[in-house]
Amino acid sequence: MEHSSGIAVGAKIDLGRAEVGTVHKPVEQPPEVALTVIEPRHGWYGVDLAELWRYRELLYFLVWRDVKVRYKQTVVGAGWAIIQPVCTMVVFSIIFGSFAKIPSDGVPYPVFVFAAILPWTFFAEAVSQASLGLVAQANLLKKVYFPRLLLPTASAGLGLVDFAVRLGVYVGIMLWYAHLPGPSVLLVPVLVLLTTLLALGVGMFLSGLTVVYRDFRTVVPFLLQAWMHISPVVFPLSLVPEQYRWIMLLNPMTGIIGGFRSVLLNQPLDWTALAASTVITFAVLIFGVSSFQRLERRFADVA
């Protein structure tokens, strides 16, 4: 007599083998599954540079994707990278150059102010995009593993593309005003690297906070706007009284903007301001990466 399952009454099942009469059929065991446990690293020393290098192709595709998405289905396309800073230069030149008569270190005010708009626009856009990068890629964070540091880094890569376009526009402006740079213009890549590192440090710090505290999506634009007003974008550092100038040097963008102006306008470099910006930039970068690493374990849960 048999049950409906097909196993005879009195059959013995022992040690993973089914025994019915004299017929023995081994029960298939599930194959062993290899598990990879990904644990969060802590602090600056937790950054795996070798892993970031292995994922360099992903970084390239993230940057290229952002470039295409940004200018997809737009009438002007990449022209927006030119229109925005040029319009800003025109407005600043009329208000601060013509009406307020702010000094421009002996050079035409449009050339003077655009030399500051170049690094500031790159920095502000990179920080703004990086702060929203993790929130915008919430689904990606929950589905696949990759170094999370790549997302804010890709935002800086997008800013570099726009910076290259604007630098070409600035060359045209300098030719128009017949004001060409000197040999110190070779330091531009160093200043671009310094601006990138500062944007990465601030962007990583704000991106982690934006994932955990969504209020920062509103705070970041106000923060950048206030930061621009306390940076020497529309005025030279020489306009600040000597006894208060050290306060300006606490702003890392002060030395960076001054450095861009010096090399592009063929003026002496303020090495003190540039050294202060370099030290503060690396401190901000270390702090930004460390705080990003501390908050990384919560990204998948709250994104």
What is the residue range of 199's domain? 46-63+77-286+297-302
Average pLDDT along the chain = 81
Query: Would 18 be classed as within a structural domain?
Result: no
Place of tokens 């083998």: 17
Q: Count CB atoms within 10 A of the CB of residue 87.
A: 10
**What pLDDT sits at residue 119?**
95
Query: Would 14 be classed as within a structural domain?
Result: no
How many domains are there within the chain?
A: 1
How far is 238 from 54, CA to CA, in rounded Å? 46
Average pLDDT over residues 211-216: 79
Given a contact cutoff of 8 angstroms between Cβ atoms, the answer to whether 68 and 158 are in contact is no
Q: Count CB atoms within 10 A of the CB of residue 90.
A: 14
Query: Would 270 be classed as within a structural domain?
Result: yes
Query: Would 23 be classed as within a structural domain?
Result: no
Query: Would 72 be classed as within a structural domain?
Result: no
Place of tokens 């009438």: 75
Query: Would 32 be classed as within a structural domain?
Result: no
**What pLDDT sits at residue 212?**
78
Q: Smallest Cα–Cα separation from 200: which of 165, 252, 248, 246?
A: 252
**Adjacent-strand bridge partners of 17:** 14, 26
Tokens at 84, concatenated: 């925005």
Q: In what order do the strands lie in the sheet with 12-14?
A: 12-14, 17-20, 23-26
**Adjacent-strand bridge partners of 8:** 2
Tokens at 38, concatenated: 């990904």
3-state secondary structure of 184: helix
**What pLDDT sits at residue 294?**
82
How far is 46 from 30, CA to CA, in rounded Å? 36
How far is 209 from 149, CA to CA, in rounded Å? 14
**What pLDDT sits at residue 16?**
46
**What pLDDT sits at residue 57?**
83
Query: Would 252 be classed as within a structural domain?
Result: yes
How far is 2 from 8, CA to CA, in rounded Å? 5
Query: Would 238 be classed as within a structural domain?
Result: yes
pLDDT in tens, 141-197: 667 777 778 888 888 888 888 898 899 999 999 999 988 888 889 999 999 999 999
